[in-house]
Amino acid sequence: MSIFVNRCTPPAYLQVFGEDAQSYLQSQLSVDLVSMEPDDIRFGLRLDKKGKTLAGMYVIKTNEETFSLISRGTSSQQLRSLLKENVVADEVEFLDHSEKYILLTVYGPKAENMFQTLDIACPSEKKVRQGKEFTAFLDPRLETKTYSLLIPTENTILDRLQVTFTDQAEIEKARIRSGLVTIPEEIGPDELPQEGRLEIDCVDFQKGCYLGQEVMARIHAMGKVRRQTVPVEFHSATPPVLPSPLFYDQKKVGLLKSFIKIDPGYIGIAILHENAAKALRKGEIKMQENTTNLKLYEPKE
């Protein structure tokens, strides 16, 4: 079988609607909602005033008064609380649909064939396909040619498919191999978007004011940050406690933010100071109180 599917309840699936929905979200998120057309999808960030990353979400625009927000890393309660923090007299409401839907992650060499079976046009980059029983999009935060589908919990769409169901670990392995980060586990309240290369697709520098905008503009003018996330691999008799401090020459140079077991060792995402890049390639970065050495993970083709 060459179509693989993981199913779960989406951590957050909110509908945001109201007369001020667009203008309010525009002031809260890092992407430009005004320039989006109906059925466009972007991945946006909710930053704090210091530019640190509090949440990330897929933003689907239906029209100027209706948006859907989907997050893989932040619960509906947390996301709703974050987004409502600055509501004063704005005409905007937040409706939680999370428990009513299933999130399917679809990948594999013949993933696109699934849409033919369902008689659905295959989603294109930055555009969703929507119908009565599904919302489908090409997922920008997972491995290339991975699709996400939202379907109602009572939907029987899976009965029409011949697929292999997989666990979340397989998706995480592919994501780490691609060097993509999760929010807020790997890039979170202590990190800037640029430290995970999120500014490339998830920050619009030409839009107006939003939370963290001044910091984003300052870093954009400077040109770089001093730390970056990198995929790493290591062998260890016991799993490390996260986040695990990383050292070079007895100096702390970063943190291991995540890991997952592969045979025979582990791969994960670390955030490292730029001065430690050469040491990582030489396998000279160590974990705290551990003789384990990390090296740059470079998947074989």
Residue 214 in any domain: the answer is yes
Residue 257, both tokens:
């933010």
User: Residue 88: its pLDDT value, please?
Assistant: 94
**For 170-226, what is each residue's pLDDT tens digit?**
999 999 988 899 999 999 999 999 999 999 999 999 998 999 999 999 999 987 899
Asked if residue 73 and residue 154 are part of one domain, the reply reads: yes
Residue 187 in any domain: the answer is no
User: Residue 299: its pLDDT value, please?
Assistant: 79
Asked if residue 156 and residue 52 are part of one domain, the reply reads: yes
Asked if residue 118 and residue 247 are part of one domain, the reply reads: no
DSSP 121-173: PPP-TTB-EEETTEEEEE-TTSSTT-EEEEEETT--GGGG---EE--HHHHHH
Residue with tokens 């079988």: 1
Query: For the whole model, what pTM was predicted?
Result: 0.94
Residue 178 in any domain: the answer is no
Arithmetic mean of pLDDT over the chain: 92
Of 51, 55, 46, 52, the C-alpha closest to 24 is 46
Residue 282 in any domain: the answer is yes
Residue 14 in any domain: the answer is yes
Query: By the 8 A CB rule, do 120 and 137 touch?
Result: no
Residue 143 in any domain: the answer is yes
User: Residue 120: its pLDDT value, please?
Assistant: 83
Asked if residue 139 and residue 20 are part of one domain, the reply reads: yes
Q: Residue type at 24?
A: Y
Give the separation between CA 191 and CA 10, rounded to whole angstroms: 24
Residue 229, beta-bridge partner list: 271
Instruction: CATH number of the domain at 162, please.
Output: 3.30.1360.120
Contacts (Cβ under 8 Å, ≥6 apart) of 121: 115, 129
Query: By the 8 A CB rule, do 28 and 110 touch?
Result: no
Give the separation between CA 210 and CA 189, rounded to whole angstroms: 17
Instruction: CATH number of the domain at 200, please.
Output: 2.40.30.160
Stretches where the chain sits below pLDDT 50 are none
Residue 29 in any domain: the answer is yes
Chain-centroid distance of CA 230 in Å reads 15
Of 29, 169, 155, the C-alpha closest to 100 is 155
Asked if residue 147 and residue 22 are part of one domain, the reply reads: yes
Asked if residue 44 and residue 151 are part of one domain, the reply reads: yes
Asked if residue 16 and residue 146 are part of one domain, the reply reads: yes
User: Residue 301: its pLDDT value, please?
Assistant: 58
User: Residue 49: its pLDDT value, please?
Assistant: 96
User: Residue 236: its pLDDT value, please?
Assistant: 87
Residue 179 in any domain: the answer is no
**What's the full length of the chain, in residues?**
301
Phi-psi region of 292 (alpha: psi -120 to 50; beta: other; left: phi over 0): beta
Asked if residue 210 and residue 76 are part of one domain, the reply reads: no
Asked if residue 106 and residue 209 are part of one domain, the reply reads: no
User: Residue 104: its pLDDT value, please?
Assistant: 92
Q: Residue type at 88?
A: V
Half-sphere exposure of 53 (CA within 13 A, CB side): 26
- pLDDT over 90, % of the chain: 76
C-alpha distances in angstroms, 123 versus 113, 137, 153? Answer: 12, 5, 21
Domain that holds residue 24: 4-166
Domain count along the chain: 2
Residue 265, both tokens:
């060792």
Of 102, 104, 149, the C-alpha closest to 123 is 149
Asked if residue 211 and residue 102 are part of one domain, the reply reads: no
Contacts (Cβ under 8 Å, ≥6 apart) of 26: 32, 33, 34, 207, 208, 210
Choosing from 131, 150, 166, the residue where a domain stops is: 166
Asked if residue 157 and residue 225 are part of one domain, the reply reads: no
Asked if residue 32 and residue 135 are part of one domain, the reply reads: yes
The strands making up 53-63's β-sheet, listed across from edge to edge, are 41-47, 53-63, 66-71, 12-17, 93-96
